[in-house]
A and B are shown apart, each in its own frame.
Chain A
Amino acid sequence: MASPLTRTSTSGTQFLDPAVLGRIGNLQLLAKTVVDGFLTGLHRSPYLGFSIDFAEHRPYMPGDDIRRIDWRLFARTDRHYIKLFEADTNANFAVLLDVSASMSYGSHTLTKLDYARYLAACLTFFSSKQRDRVGLVTFDHEIVDYVPPSMKHLDTILHKLDKAEAGRPGALSGPLLQITELLRRKGILVIISDFYEDPETILAAVGPLRARGHDVIVFHVMDPHELEFPFEEASGFEDLETHEQIPVIPAKLRDEYRLVVANHLETLKTKMTGNRIDYTLLDTSKPLDLALFQYLLARERMSKVR
């Protein structure tokens, strides 16, 4: 059985290509397409039924958790059946989306913000299908939009995501602190950002959320050019947030840049993991599947924990 993490479904992957998704104007349709396609592509449905409301029985299939076999029914019928339950509607799910100016960068058809919006839409849609209460917070150096988690807020969230624009300088600590105050009920928090701050600062901002008991999933969105620094011509590089310029000869700096970035990412990952925060680095040129699987893994782990 192939692992979900290594899944490379041909039809699914092709369909989930960010560049292709960019052409779908409607976020809801996009999210539905992604999620449905994603689910259809799975051979089993191990993630249904995390709630306590009985829904139906289905025959046991190899690979199903044996803890979920209905032994009583087995006693009656001498066959193994699995109990399925209605989804849990009590879980809170919120996306914390960074809309600072740096997120507007994109070296190809999609900017980081576009990618983040698709991801947020997909996750929200997915969660909504799981009967979670979904919410959204967009922020730069302060909170821009806040949609409190609710069963009915899917459309609002998708609309807000559709209208989200990057423009102002960003800072994590301020808005995340505010969010800590806003979201008092434990839930799943997905932070999508490019995290252009020191790892210590980031951790200092994210840590309180984790300390509140939220399950924090961090998606670090990076453009391939940010990772690879493939520029050739000597140019002036302008910061999208501060508009500061410095002259750069990329050929001379590339190696050092890559090293610095790699160190940063490594530090970030280490520190996040150390704080039991799920950290995933997303390359905007890669399909969204990876992010979804990451999320589902987290959900599964949480359900196990629960």
Chain B
Amino acid sequence: MSLTFLVPLFLLGAAGIIVPIVAHLTRRQRRNVVHFPSLMFLEKIPYQEQRRRRVQHWFLLGLRALALALLALAFARPFLDDSEVGLAASGGPREVVVLIDQSYSMEVGNHLEQAREQATQVFDGLGPLDRASVVAFSQGARVLARSTSDRNSLRGALDTLEVSSGATSFGPALKVAQTILEESTLSSGEVYLLSDFQRIGWIGDEGVRLPVGSTFIPVPLGEDDVEENLLVTDVLLPRQTVSGRERVTPTARVVRRGGSSPREVSVALDIDGQEIQQQSVTLAPDAATAIVFQPFTVSRSHTRGTVRLPSDDLNADNEHHFVVSPGAALTVLIVEGANAEPNASLFLRRALEISSDGRFRVNVRRATTIRPVDLAGTHAVFLNDVQIDGGSAERVRAFVEAGGGVLVALGEAAGWPASAADLLPGTIGPVQDRLQGRGGRLGFLQYAHPIFEVFAGPRSGDFTGARFFRARAFQPSDSAEVLARFDDGSVAMAEQRFGQGKVLVWTNTLDDFWNDLIRQPVYLPFVHRLTEYLGGRTEALPWFTIGQIVDLASPEALLTAGLVSSEAAGLTEGLDQVALTPSGTTIPLPAGEGHRYLPLEEHGFYTVRPPGSEPERPFIMAVNVELEESNLARMDAEELGAQLMAPAGTEARSLNIDAAASLQREDQERRQSLWRWLLIAALALFVAETAISNWVSRKGAGARVAVPG
């Protein structure tokens, strides 16, 4: 350890010490000239300057010189350099972080085993004062052992390593390494990254910066490229209702990456664990094909399905799991006036009936009263240009409060009892003609709303072609949400939430009397979306992807997850549940308020059921791997290292040891900050010198005054 200077050039400033001395000895009187008539008398007075040439206060001069020297020293930024110790990799204690990739691509070529061996070698090379951490990562990072010098616990951590179902992401693991190194008190740090270095694992802007002076050592595993990889990328599950039975026709998309010659591939379909079909397809290298299986009948809820490919180097993407349940048809009640045209609801009825999977069951009632029996088992009600009585309105109110959906279509005859005015999202006004020009159009649609969101994209349905020649004026209330407006700003559709249900008002007719919307291509999907929204139907997801989290306390999430099993209904009631992972691990989901999150970390089927019970059809969720991980293209490990270190102005130490040493010197100087103390000392000396010199001056002046004459 030696005293070194970061900016030794400033030491030249120490030459400033001679300034006060020279100034003291050579300073002349100020050259302001006084013109005087004659120097005759002045020249007669003997006068010498010798007194100035003698230093009188050596102590003060010493103080000034010392203060200047300290100032120069402070600017030279001195520090005690222990870089020789720190830089000797084998000589000082190191903080070693071993990051091990456990994404599912690591199963290729036994990469994980190679990683274990490499990590063991790293641990064997640790010095007695070195500490090491083991971090396993895929999409997230998990610290298996943190900053320990205990070899056994490190090796034990290695033994727990398994290939996960996650995809590779270097960012979280490197951030953990950064944190460990930053919190470490040891003089140097090393980060070993043991991975197959898939390009998809690094997006390049993760914000990870390893501490200055630390070393990044990439250890690429399995240098040989995988010859070929088969994977199922997608499975479509279109439904058909045939003879009252729901049939699903699975269509799998199979991709072959790599390979050298066409190959026959056998694709199997398992339903509820049983292989029911197998098809063979010939796949050329780097080709894809769609395989359509024979339809199968979905008769039971939570039916598990798997499309399987034969084994290859990467098996996780060879299976694609899904769960299907019989779709529940929505029962729709269309109420039209007793004196309405015979075909008043013809288009609406036809639109609801045009559905291959039989999603809607339509009942029509021609009366101004709605009986309780009409609403029993009904999901959605269309009040098509009808004036219902007060009693019916109260029954509709109860229906909506319980979660039902009502659409009030306002035509010529439409009205609403005043007793239930609060149920409507506004006030119904008179009929307004829009006969000028080519009629009115829809000028505003709230595309964020579930009814219209499918039409938001380009070429997803155009409402602007529809013309509206007449409409009922409607004044929305404060609690109403306007979903659509005509081009003159008047309301076309408004919604109001009421209880658990909703009431929508359509200020036009649902036939072709006031508008030509029924002739537009968007009419059918619009009516379907409208009805599904009113009926509260949500599309169930046939599968999830690794990394997603499901809140089992949220009814919407459960509907999205396809929960239809009555046996698993306890979930919505907040009872105790357990989740069984594909690997057989049990995750308790205790009852209680708040969220019940279930992270989906394994591919396969998650089963959720009450603890200790074996329901016949438990709630099942299918989970598939992230297919990006199947892309085994590698990135340059050195490039990754450069990105981790580059912003700090240096490369990895192994590449540029001088730069690292320089940075370490700056770091040492910054940490020691001796210059602050020197500066304080210099200032103190200056203050002392000023005080003493003032005192000396006063004393001298007093002495002169005291001398008479």
Contact = CB atoms under 8 A, between A and B. Distances in A.
B26 to A, nearest CB: 13
Given A234-B30, A238-B34, A247-B29, A256 B39 contact: no
Contact of A194 (B29, B31, B37, B44): B37
In this complex, which of B34, B43, B709 has the most chain A Cβ atoms within 10 angstroms of its Cβ? B34
Contacts of B42: 237, 246, 248, 253, 257
A249 B37 contact: no
Contacts of A197: 40
Nearest to A247: B29
Interface in B14-49: 28-45, 47, 49
Main secondary structure of the interface of A (DSSP, over half): mixed
20 contacts: A102-B37, A105-B37, A112-B37, A194-B38, A235-B33, A236-B32, A236-B34, A237-B42, A239-B37, A240-B35, A240-B36, A240-B38, A241-B38, A245-B33, A246-B42, A247-B28, A247-B29, A248-B47, A249-B29, A257-B42
A100 to B, nearest CB: 9
A234 B35 contact: no
B33 A240 contact: no
Given A112-B37, A236-B32, A241-B37, 11 more contacts: A101-B37, A102-B37, A196-B40, A234-B30, A239-B38, A240-B38, A244-B39, A248-B47, A253-B47, A255-B709, A257-B45
B41 A260 contact: yes
Given A196-B38, A241-B38, A233 B33 contact: no
A144 interface: no
A226 interface: yes
A151 B41 CA distance: 41
Interface in A235-282: 235-242, 244-249, 252-253, 255-257, 260-261, 264
Contacts of A226: 36-37
A231 interface: yes
Interface of B: 28-45, 47, 49, 709
Interface of A: 101-103, 105, 112, 194, 196-197, 223, 226, 231, 233-242, 244-249, 252-253, 255-257, 260-261, 264
Given A233-B30, A249-B29, A238 B36 contact: yes
Contacts of B30: 233-235
A261 B41 contact: yes
Main secondary structure of the interface of B (DSSP, over half): loop
A238 B28 CA distance: 16
Nearest to B39: A239
Given A234-B29, A247-B28, A264 B41 contact: yes
Nearest to B28: A247
A236 B31 CA distance: 6
A15 B31 CA distance: 40
A239 B41 contact: no
B44 A260 contact: yes
A294 B38 CA distance: 27
A253 B45 contact: yes
A17 to B, nearest CB: 23
B41 A257 contact: yes
Contacts of A236: 29, 31-34
Given A102-B38, A240-B37, A241-B38, A246 B32 contact: no
Contacts of B39: 237, 239, 242, 244, 246
A241 B40 CA distance: 11
A223 B34 contact: no
Contacts of A235: 29-30, 32-34
Top 8 closest pairs, chain A to chain B, by CB: A102-B37, A234-B29, A105-B37, A196-B38, A239-B39, A235-B34, A260-B41, A236-B33
B48 to A, nearest CB: 11
A104 B639 CA distance: 89
Contacts of A252: 47
Contacts of B31: 236
Contacts of A246: 39, 42-43
A265 B675 CA distance: 67
A237 B32 CA distance: 9
Contacts of B35: 105, 238, 240
B365 to A, nearest CB: 117
A236 B709 CA distance: 25
A240 B42 CA distance: 13
A264 to B, nearest CB: 7
Contacts of B40: 196-197
B705 to A, nearest CB: 12
